[in-house]
Amino acid sequence: MVDEYSNYINGKWAGANTGKTYENINPATGEILGLFPLSGAAEVDKAVDAASRAGVKWRKLPAPKRGEILFKAAEIMVQRKEDLARRMTMEMGKVLKEARGDVQEGIDMTYYMAAEGRRLFGNTTPSELSNKYALSMRVPIGVVAAITPWNFPFAIPTWKIMPALVAGNTVVFKPSPFTPDMAYQLVKILEEAGLPPGVINLIYGEGPVLGVPLVEDPRVTLVSFTGSTKVGGEIAQRSARLGKRYSLEMGGKNAIIVMEDADLDLAVEGIIWSAFGTSGQRCTAASRIIIQRSIMPYLTEKIVTRAERLRLGNGLLPGTDVGPVIHQEALDKILRYIKIGLEEGAKLLIGGGRATDGELSKGLFVPPTVFGDVTPKMRIAQEEIFGPVTALIPVDSLQEAIAVNNDTPYGLVTAIFTRDVNSAFRAMEDITTGIVYINSGTIGAEVHLPFGGTRGTSNGHREAGQAALDVYTDWKTVFVDYSGRLQKAQMTD
């Protein structure tokens, strides 16, 4: 018997008006995990209406009290961490240790934003006039549409929902249709923690069907989206036309630079984890490895040898290093880019096709794939593949490495391995991505620091840290004049 789930609107769980459902499928086994509603515009309207009405009271609740609810939610998450991680692995495929990390990041973000309920700092500043007081404060912006992807199905929703809630906004949450159970678990936890009806609303369904009415609803003040650059661009166009805010986190074509003076064993560890963790299905995945030419032969052999040892399989099984990719469309895209790489003249060093041996035939598995002889302008070095595929690019100097790194349509994260402090600081200054790692891989965000990128990766906003509050709040400036007379600023007469 397969469980059937519901939307959550105005504090109640109910199915869609369409009466239609879709199957949530384990990409490692093909098992059906549950049935979820295929909602339509009617559910969007109900959810936005509930959020709009709930916002009147929620914004009046003192921010420390809002934070206390989030703190309770974080405590529940801690208790359920292992169950949440196992559910995540079954739903989207990442190995269990990575799923635990995903859940922990959600816990960390929820605790962090709960504490912001006792801060939400504004500013006071001296007025230029006598007997006058000047200050600024953060205020909520209204109804937030949170549209989230499947690759971090617990962490990323908390990046959006928790700062939105603690700031006094209400939320309509539209998760990826490929990870509906994690959305259910998160909202259920918030409900149990005492979040009032209508403050968060969850609607399931397909992006094109729900996205357009959600973005275009005039009651939605902000659209916060993480996903593909194509969809992000469409959201930007619609939102700009309607004069509403939008916060976008989109693609990446991240690189690891390895200089000849680096700790090469450490660099290989960082490369393997960054390129093939989560089967390369991360916006922060290292799909380019920029290597100083003098160490290219040695490092290539090391990378290929390590990649060959990685074990594919169900992420719940001990010893699995790389799980499945999320769905057939993703598999087809990855295989298409492998073909493009070969057509461009890159040398396939390992991997290169779908894995179908034994139990792997039941799922969607691509073995770690490494290309050599890659030039910077090849499509596999410029376009996001979003799979366990990485390209080795030789360069002659740090200057050339940085230039190659910066020359893509994306700008999320770069890592550099070097023992030379001068090279490290030059890289920190000249690399034009939003995140830079020194002597580490491209993966590993921390919730108290801004997360985001440049160029086609982002529209300039940042998630996580106090920077996230700039997305989910308005600034209000207040002047209190107690002089008893009309003072005219900047006018001396």
> Which positions are catalytic?
249, 283
- Give 355's strand partners: 365
- With the CA atoms of 236, 282, 352 and 359 taken in that order, what torsion angle do they form, in degrees rounded to the nearest 10? -120
* Chain centre distance of CA 230: 16
Q: How far apart are CA 150 and CA 182, in angstroms?
A: 9
Asked if residue 363 lies in contact with residue 270, where contact means CB atoms within 8 angstroms, the answer is no
Residue of 203, 225, 232, 238 lying closest to 40 (CA atoms): 203
Residue of 299, 164, 301, 288 lying closest to 222 (CA atoms): 164
Question: Could you tell me where the beta strands, DSSP code E, fall in 94-194?
Answer: 123-126, 132-140, 143-147, 170-174
DSSP collapsed to 3 states, 225-260:
EECCHHHHHHHHHHHHHHCCEEEEECCCCEEEEECC
H/E stretch holding 343: helix 328-344
Asked if residue 23 lies in contact with residue 32, where contact means CB atoms within 8 angstroms, the answer is yes
Q: How far apart are CA 112 and CA 94, in angstroms?
A: 25
Percentages helix, strand, coil for the chain (3-state, rounded to 5) are 40, 25, 35
User: Could you tell me whether strands 254-258 and 413-417 are parallel, antiparallel, or unpaired per DSSP bridges?
Assistant: parallel
Number of C-beta neighbours around residue 317 at 10 A? 14
Residue of 263, 288, 261, 260 lying closest to 274 (CA atoms): 288
Q: How far apart are CA 257 and CA 415, in angstroms?
A: 6
Q: How far apart are CA 466 and CA 458, in angstroms?
A: 17
Half-sphere exposure of 368 (CA within 13 A, CB side): 25
> Which phi and psi (to 5°) does residue 135 adopt?
-150, 165
Asked if residue 270 lies in contact with residue 440, where contact means CB atoms within 8 angstroms, the answer is yes
Q: Can you spell out the DSSP letters for 119-138?
A: ----EEEE-SSTTEEEEEEE
